[in-house]
Amino acid sequence: MKKLLLLSFAIYSFCIMPAWALPDEGMWLPLLIKRLNAEDMAKHGFRLSPDEIYQVNNAALKDAIVSLEFCTAEIVSENGLMLTNHHCAYSAIQENSTLEHNYLGNGFWAKSHKEELTIPGQTASILVRMEDVTQAVLKDIKDEKDAAERDKIIAASIKEISKNASENGAYKAVVKDMFNGNEYYLFVYETFKDVRLVGAPPESIGKFGGDTDNWMWPRHTGDFALLRIYANKDNKPAAYAADNVPYKPKYVIPVSTKGYKEGDFAMIMGFPGRTNRYITSAGMELQMKYINPTQIKLFGKKLETWKKDMDADPKVRIQYAAKYATYANSWKYYIGQNEGLERLDVIKKRKSEENAFTQWAKSSPDNSKYENLLSDYEQAINPFKEILDQLFYLNFAGKSCEATALIRPAEALKSALDQSSGNSTALAELTKEAQEKANEFYKDYNTQTDYHVVTAMLQLYVNDIPLAQLPPPIKKILDGKGKNNADKINRWATKLFAKSMFVSPEKFNKWLQKPDAKSFDKDPLVVFMNELMQYSMATYIPVQIKYATQSENFKRLYLEGLMKFKKDHKFYPDANSTERLTYGNVKSYQPKDAVYYSYYTTTDGILEKYSKDKTSEFYADDRLIDLIKRKDFGPYTENGQLHVAFLTNNDITGGNSGSPVMNDKGELIGIAFDGNWEAMTGDLVFDPEFKRTICVDARYVLFIIDKYAGATNLIQEMKLK
Ligand code: ARG
């Protein structure tokens, strides 16, 4: 699952764990596998030793697991070739696509290294080592209760620890808190900056089923793509350069063509982004009744507006494809999470667990600091609830103009003009940066579409937020000329779009030729955004910050208490974009009464679902359909069939997208790409009955590369088992 778009800042909240953790539940830290999981994994059939998963001095599996920041990838060749999901490479494919070279629609296969496409801004990070630095981070804290003091001390020690570990910038060193701030770990990465696109199937394969099938099983999506890491001559990270060479990895994951059976051991390593498994019932309620409905409404309006323009113009369709997919993914996620919270009655269950905790806290004076924790937290939520809608609408409906993205680079240039009226090299550098940003931005920007979004979102804003709560710059629009709100908004926006330089590539590029502070300061978009920001800073932000601080504190204490309350329980930290391992089995499920879902799908399902209509989410081209009908599957079949996707009960979340799914021997049997509809509450509570990971079968991946695309050069690079 790809990392989600979060409109809110992190909403800190928490919950109780069941007293037992099933082997399938848990996102375990590689460093602790030996201590916490090795025995259990062996019992479940895993055949490698914990040292083969993680160790510092010799090559191990961890050296082939790559963070793409928002997704995961894995190294499958001696030449730095990586597999990930199509939806993880989607922006890269989209950015390289034009009407003439439509790689989204037609796929892309590099025949040689030379043909591989650059992906500006894409990095690939490999974990070198991790370390528990809790003692060092917390050592100077004297007064536990002084939250501000605590934060300051922690920030200072984290800064020092990461600075030392980065070895003068050779490594990326990050300290992350675990167990809600009760522990701290240092992660040292080697971060490569030259990553290229090697291959991708057309959308009709890589995104088959589109948003309709997204988050659902049964699935028939070939959700994979190939990337490659490039390094300098010394095999070290370097910025893009034509003469960089393919990276020589320490470890390569072999690809299995043998498949799996129900119940087989399966594990996943990757970089899950964020879970909130210790959320309280009050936190869940906040999510379900306030945050989710607002996000669903706001995202839904934006998607509806984009879609109209995308359907009308194939160029806009390409320009907005990646943005649309990202929002559509999060939008459906929030809908599913709310449905699940309702259906599984999780809040009620959580409440009774919380009562048990409070009883325990009251039972001994030693635990008295946890006695009022839950009720205090409920109190702290209230003021935040009051402003939540207003804040979200301001950020998303008020600040909806896409061209705002260029204000910052322009402002950097403007400030330099103000200060350094002579330093021409600094100015030239900033101009170049702004120009590059602008070129990248305008390639996928349509002024008319932006106008449609701005007006539609403002309309929603003034419809949904009571007049008295609207910020002055919005009220001013409604005070303008026109017969009704829609009319006033249109007039205002028409004027904004006629005058602002940001919504026009010509005007902005002209400004870049001869930047001046005055026209920047006077630009109506700059003025409007500043007014909104000032209002937000004065009205909402203090409430938001207060809540964030309070809940962070609660979160830490609550988990500290829970760990005492359930002494024998094996806890794992919430996902936080650090490397984790989850293990379990290949497994079917029963989504509802009398319905059984098999643990794998085959190409038969593609024949059942496909459409000849090119605009359909289920379009499949003749080449694929012909191969399937002729059963021309090459060596990738099982009993005459070709599997497309399969299920495991592994514990993953957004950020794990693209992660390798491995068998008992550590060979790749598939790539994780989604979660299922019945367990959309999974980030808050792990339900062993319903929670599944959806994986694309390695053999389907090989079939597409080999038989469909004829890219045998890539197959030859891999180590097939
Ligand atoms: N649900 C998947 C995830 O979160 C993303 C799938 C992308 N596909 C799509 N049709 N939007 O990783």
pLDDT tens digits along 608-626 = 999 999 999 999 999 999 9
User: Which of these, 347, 346, 374, 349, lies nearest to 360 by C-alpha position?
Assistant: 374
Alpha carbon distance 125, 598 (integer Å): 36
| Average pLDDT score over the chain | 95
Average pLDDT estimate for 240-262 = 98
Q: Tell me if 211 CB under 6 Å of ligand 1.
A: yes
Residue intervals in the chain for CATH 2.40.10.120: 18-123+193-277+574-674+684-721
3.40.50.620, 2.40.10.120, 1.20.1260.10, 3.50.50.60: CATH of 18-123+193-277+574-674+684-721: 2.40.10.120
Taking the C-alpha atoms of residue 582 and residue 660, their distance in angstroms, rounded to an integer, is: 11
CB burial readout 554-592, b (16+ within 10 A) else e = bbbbbbbbbeebbeeeebbbbbbbbbbbbbbbbbbbebe
Q: Measured between alpha carbons, how far is 92 from 69 in angstroms, rounded to an integer?
A: 14
Residue 143: per-residue pLDDT: 78
User: How many angstroms does the Cα of residue 326 sit away from the middle of ligand 1?
Assistant: 8
Please indicate whether residue 214, judged by its CB atom, sits closer than 6 Å to ligand 1.
yes
- The pTM for the full model equals 0.95
For ligand 1, the distance from its centroid to the CA atom of residue 42, given in whole angstroms, is 33
**pLDDT above 90 for 148:** no
d(CA 466, CA 510): 41
In percent, the amount of the chain with pLDDT more than 70 equals: 97
CA distance 429 to 251: 39
Q: What pLDDT band is residue 2 in, cutting at 50, 70 and 90?
A: confident
3-state helix, strand, coil in the chain (%, to 5): 50, 15, 35
pLDDT tens digit sequence for 558-572:
999 999 999 999 999
Whole-number pLDDT of residue 3: 84
Q: Residue 513, Cβ neighbours under 10 Å: how many?
A: 8
297 half-sphere exposure, CB direction, 13 A CA radius: 17
Q: How many percent of the chain have pLDDT more than 90? A: 92
Supply the pLDDT for residue 501: 98
pLDDT of residue 125: 98
Question: Could you tell me if 552 and 228 are in contact, meaning their C-beta atoms sit under 8 angstroms apart?
Answer: no
Mark whether 97 is an active-site residue: no
CA of 215 to the centre of ligand 1 (A): 7
Specify the residue with its C-alpha closest to ligand 1, atom 3.
1
How buried is residue 716: exposed, middle or buried, by Cβ count under 10 Å (0-12/13-18/19+)?
Answer: exposed
Q: How many CB atoms lie within 10 A of CB 542?
A: 12
The per-residue pLDDT for 146 is 79
Which residue is associated with the tokens 């590099």?
110
Q: Which residue has 């025949």 as its token pair?
A: 111
* Chain segment 628-650, per-residue pLDDT in tens: 999 999 999 999 999 999 999 99
Task: Tell me how far apart the alpha carbons of residues 673 and 683 are, in angstroms, rounded to a whole number.
Answer: 16
Confidence of residue 418 (pLDDT cuts 50, 70, 90): confident
Q: List, in sequence order, the alpha helices (H) in 287-406.
A: 292-312, 314-343, 346-363, 373-393
Q: Is 223 a catalytic residue?
A: yes
pLDDT of 23 reads 59
Radius of gyration of the chain (CA): 26
List strand residue ranges (DSSP E) for 586-626, in order.
589-592, 595-597, 600-602
Q: Which of 330, 577, 657, 659 is catalytic?
A: 657
Residue whose CA lies nearest to ligand 1 atom number 12: 1
Q: How many angstroms from the chain centroid is the CA of residue 453?
A: 24
Residue 418 or 484, more confident: 484
CA of 329 to the centre of ligand 1 (A): 5
